[in-house]
């Protein structure tokens, strides 16, 4: 896909994804399925002939381990990796660690839906997607985008909502459009950028 390549991947299924818990900044590992998803993502990237000059990830284990597995499958275990909390998942605050069904029983379905799927309404003590974007996008502009525009092939392995913030920017989506966008675990999203940072081409490497 030429130069100015950016690949985004959400980590594989985590232990708390499987248990239907709000995770946020809590540090949890991958399930066996999550390990398999990350490895499969790496195999699909390798089959597409892609390799990378630098990788970015969050400070959370589920993203870092997913990246390790992807790079192992590609054969790039020694790739330079930059870890930063700016790429962490959205902080769910008081919801962190709670079962989503229990949260609905406590606060009501509409309130929990508002916290989960609105753009700018944060849960108690936590972040909205708007808040998450406010830390992700400056980091992207400062650290990631310049590398892509310089011609490096860049992979970012992060989380559903930190990646939503990037997708919103890349695809010029509205708040309503981005909250409805599902980011699947372990599915590489491949972007080729123009010199002005707009998207020239986008495709997913789904199974």
**Cα angle, residue 9 at apex, residues 3 and 13 outer, rounded to 5°:** 165
By annotation, the residues acting in catalysis are 11, 89
Burial 86-114, CB ≥16 within 10 A → b, else e? bbbbbbbbebbebeeeebbeebeeeebee
CATH superfamily for domain 5-204: Phosphoglycerate mutase-like (3.40.50.1240)
Per-residue confidence in pLDDT tens, the chain, 207 aa: 458 999 999 999 999 999 999 999 999 999 999 999 999 999 999 999 999 999 999 999 999 999 999 999 999 999 999 999 999 999 999 999 999 999 999 999 999 999 988 999 999 999 999 999 999 999 999 999 999 999 999 999 999 999 999 999 999 999 999 988 999 999 999 999 999 999 999 999 986
> pTM of this prediction?
0.95
Structure tokens at 168: 């919103």
């Amino acid at each position: 896909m030429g130069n100015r390549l950016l690949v985004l991947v959400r980590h594989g299924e985590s232990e708390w994804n499987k248990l239907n818990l709000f995770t946020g900044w809590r540090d949890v590992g991958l399930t066996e399925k999550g390990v398999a998803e990350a490895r499969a993502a790496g195999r699909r990237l390798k089959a597409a002939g892609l390799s990378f000059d630098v990788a970015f990830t969050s400070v959370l284990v589920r993203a870092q381990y997913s990246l390790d597995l992807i790079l192992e499958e590609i054969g790039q275990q020694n790739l330079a990796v930059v870890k930063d909390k700016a790429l962490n998942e959205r902080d769910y605050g008081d919801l962190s660690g709670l079962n989503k069904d229990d949260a609905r029983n406590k606060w009501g379905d509409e309130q929990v839906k508002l916290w989960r799927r609105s753009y700018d309404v944060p849960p108690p003590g936590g972040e909205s997607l708007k808040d998450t974007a406010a830390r992700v996008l400056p980091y992207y502009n400062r650290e990631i985008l310049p590398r892509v525009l310089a011609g490096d092939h860049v992979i970012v392995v992060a989380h559903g909502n930190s990646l939503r913030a990037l997708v919103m920017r890349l695809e010029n989506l509205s708040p309503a459009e981005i909250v409805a966008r599902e980011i699947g675990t372990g599915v590489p999203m491949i972007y080729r950028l123009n010199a002005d940072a707009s998207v020239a081409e986008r495709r997913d490497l789904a199974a």
